[in-house]
Amino acid sequence: MGVHVMRRRVWRCGTILLAVMLMVLPASGIVAGPAPDTAVILQGADVVTLEPYYSNSLTDTNVIIHVFETLTRFDDNVNLVPGLAESWRLRDSRTWEFKLTPGRRFQNGEPLNAEAVRYTLMRAKDLFEKKQGDVQYQYNLLDLDTVEVVDDLTVRVRSKSPNPLTPLHMAHTQTSPMPPRRTSQTPLSELQRQPIGSGPYRVVEFVPNERVVLEVWPEHPSRPRIRRLVWRPVPETATRLAELAAGNADLVMNVPPDLIPQVERTRTARVESVAGMRRIIIGLRQDRHPALRDKRVRQALNYAFDCQTMMKNLLAGRGECTGILVNVPDQNPAVKPYPYNLQRAAQLLDEAGWRMNPRTNVREQGGRPLELGMDCPRGRYIKDAEICQVIASDLGKVGVKVDVQVFDWSVFVSKSARRGAGFRDTYLIGSGPGFDCQADLGLVQKDSGSNRSLFESARFEALWDEMSSAFDPKKRRDICFRMQEVLYDEAPVIFIWFQTDLYGVSQRLVWKPRPDERIRLHDARFR
């Protein structure tokens, strides 16, 4: 047999094999989309643990909220509503009493009663004191002292100091009741991968680093309409969007604004957006450049930043500028974003004694130029590095020279430690929601660890102290509104926006995003 004949046969066999593969594979179901009763959700990172007290990551929490429930919870508009507790009341300044819904059980049949709540909270307190788990942040805020069982359905939670926010903290996944018998007798590794909660879904499969599969728990009173949820980690954005376009996924998170048209061009998916609760700001350090200690300079920086144009051109018009640091529902509607006004900015800088040097086009005072360093992460927040470049360019127009340095998040976050000791004069940072006005405003309170600018204002601190001893929700809101007015005037930061969260959603899925970044599918359904 000649070489040519043999080569021809090889080519022919190869071609036939390829043709057969192309014909057979689409019909084989291997690359077919999700089953009709299954929603596939793609997240950017692995689900590591489903033990609520050992995780603080959003990827874990998104799954955890389907398996566990909390005494209180936030509804879709971030209002605090009953969860496992049907009511709660303040007994004294340190003690809150919660009444549980009767007849509830865990997925293994153990009763969900006051004792289960006491056991779980005290277990978490023990973890906190032993520096185990990931509960440091939550239990620092909760300041938990004791938990007392009054009767089978009544439990009293006592904090070490007066705490008006206890009901709010009870909406955190790190207060989710766990079944006492099972939890005390099961090794941690099993609790992490085969958790038993009281939520509407139970875990049926946990393949580490690959997928978590949840199925409806039929005994839950809420009866969700989607039977199975499959959570998969897909770290690369382009791959997540390809899965969505191919019809293999129903929900993907973090769609970049510049890829919105690409998603909307597909017939399989759409983009859903919501103004999130993550506040993106430029922090202005008070201990570095002397100009930033002057309120007029800080105001001028806000006037010089053309936020609206940036929203339109850089962020596809999918966001709104802001002049406040507090999340819904406590936002003061009277406080508007700083308008873009170069003349006013220049006037304020002149008044503050920073005069333009026509030779360098940079303002100076006593020979010291108004040059600021700006540290920015890349890829942590939407268009973070690009936003820094825009602001630097805008400030340059009024004679403020900004040197932008961009860092990978792992490096940037190290700079933020020790109250931002590693940052230069200014820095872009995002801050998640505190779910309460006072918690949100820790960002600029003098003793707060998250006040990386070391900002301090006597007017603001007086209101802060007043709020700390206020328990009446109406009074707290009134103080909160006044604090926002003070902060607008003080301009402790360059206000940017509440980051819009963008999700790619399959056309068959009926689902609305929430402002708190949680992917909650309890009420979702297929068309």
Partner 1 sequence: MLAYVARRLSQMLVVVLMVSIVSFGLLFLTGDPAELLLGAGADFMTQQQIDEFRRARGFDRPWLVQYFDFLSKAVRGDFGDSLRHYRPAFEVVWERVPATIQLGAVAFLLSVAAGVPLGVVSATQRGSGVDAGAMLFALLGQSVPSFWLGILLIMVFGVYLQVLPISGRGTWLHFIMPAVTLAAFPLARNARLTRSSVLEVLHQEYVRTARAKGVPELGVVYRHALRNALIPVVTVIGLQLGFLLGGSVIVETIFAWPGVGRAIIGAIGDKDYPVVQAGVTLLSVTFVGVNLLVDLLYAFLNPRIRYQ
Question: Which residue of 22, 161, 218, 527 would you call a contact of partner 1, by CB under 8 A?
Answer: 22
How many residues in the chain? Answer: 527
User: How would you label 52-82 residue by residue, b for 16+ Cβ within 10 Å and e otherwise?
Assistant: bbbbbebbbbbbbbbbbbbbbbbeeebebeb
**321 DSSP assignment:** B
Give the chain's count of helices (H) and strands (E): 17, 21
Helix (H) or strand (E) holding 261: helix 260-265
**130 token code pair:** 């032993």
Toward partner 1, which CB reaches closer, 211 or 482? 211
Question: Which residue of 104, 232, 285, 318 would you call a contact of partner 1, by CB under 8 A?
Answer: 232
**67 token code pair:** 């398996």
| Cα–Cα distance for residue pair 98/76, rounded to 1 Å | 22
233 touches partner 1 by CB under 8 A? yes
422 touches partner 1 by CB under 8 A? yes
| Cα–Cα distance for residue pair 441/492, rounded to 1 Å | 11
Which stretch, 91-99, 170-178, 219-227, 238-246, contacts partner 1 (CB under 8 A)?
A: 238-246
Helix (H) or strand (E) holding 183: helix 180-185
Count the alpha carbons within 13 Å of 113 in the hemisphere toward its beta carbon.
11
C-beta of 261: minimal distance to partner 1 in Å?
A: 16
Closest by CA position to 349, among listed 397, 418, 310 = 397
| Cα–Cα distance for residue pair 300/361, rounded to 1 Å | 16
Question: Which residue of 94, 125, 211, 401 would you call a contact of partner 1, by CB under 8 A?
Answer: 211
Question: Which residue of 15, 108, 136, 469 would you call a contact of partner 1, by CB under 8 A?
Answer: 136
Question: Which residue of 234, 284, 441, 509 would you call a contact of partner 1, by CB under 8 A?
Answer: 234
Which stretch, 131-139, 360-368, 453-461, 509-517, contacts partner 1 (CB under 8 A)?
A: 131-139
Count the alpha carbons within 13 Å of 410 in the hemisphere toward its beta carbon.
0
426 touches 373 (CB < 8 A): yes
- Interacting residues with partner 1 between 457 and 476 (CB under 8 A): none
Toward partner 1, which CB reaches closer, 97 or 440? 440
Cα–Cα separations (whole angstroms), residue 203 to 64, 194, 199: 10, 6, 10
Question: Which residue of 188, 213, 314, 486 would you call a contact of partner 1, by CB under 8 A?
Answer: 188
C-beta of 124: minimal distance to partner 1 in Å?
A: 15
Phi, psi of 208 (to 5 degrees): -55, 135
Toward partner 1, which CB reaches closer, 242 or 486? 242
C-beta of 265: minimal distance to partner 1 in Å?
A: 12
449 touches partner 1 by CB under 8 A? yes
19 touches partner 1 by CB under 8 A? no
Toward partner 1, which CB reaches closer, 108 or 140? 140
Question: What letter represents residue 428's amino acid?
Answer: L
Which stretch, 237-245, 307-315, 346-354, 514-522, contacts partner 1 (CB under 8 A)?
A: 237-245
286 touches partner 1 by CB under 8 A? no
C-beta of 492: minimal distance to partner 1 in Å?
A: 17
Question: Which residue of 48, 149, 454, 486 would you call a contact of partner 1, by CB under 8 A?
Answer: 48
168 touches partner 1 by CB under 8 A? no
Question: What letter represents residue 153's amino acid?
Answer: L
345 touches 305 (CB < 8 A): no
192 touches partner 1 by CB under 8 A? yes
Cα–Cα separations (whole angstroms), residue 197 to 177, 376, 462: 7, 40, 43
58 touches partner 1 by CB under 8 A? no
Q: In angstroms, how far apart are the furthest CA atoms of the chain?
A: 98
Number of residues in contact with partner 1 under rule CB under 8 A: 51
C-beta of 140: minimal distance to partner 1 in Å?
A: 5
- CA 135 vs. chain centroid, Å, equals 17
**511 DSSP assignment:** -
C-beta of 68: minimal distance to partner 1 in Å?
A: 18
Question: What letter represents residue 88's amino acid?
Answer: W
163 touches partner 1 by CB under 8 A? no
46 touches partner 1 by CB under 8 A? yes
Question: Which residues of this protein are in contact with partner 1, per CB under 8 A?
Answer: 3, 6, 21-22, 25-26, 30-31, 45-46, 48-49, 54, 57, 131, 133, 136-137, 140, 188-189, 192, 208-211, 232-236, 238-239, 242-243, 245-248, 409-410, 413-419, 422, 449-450
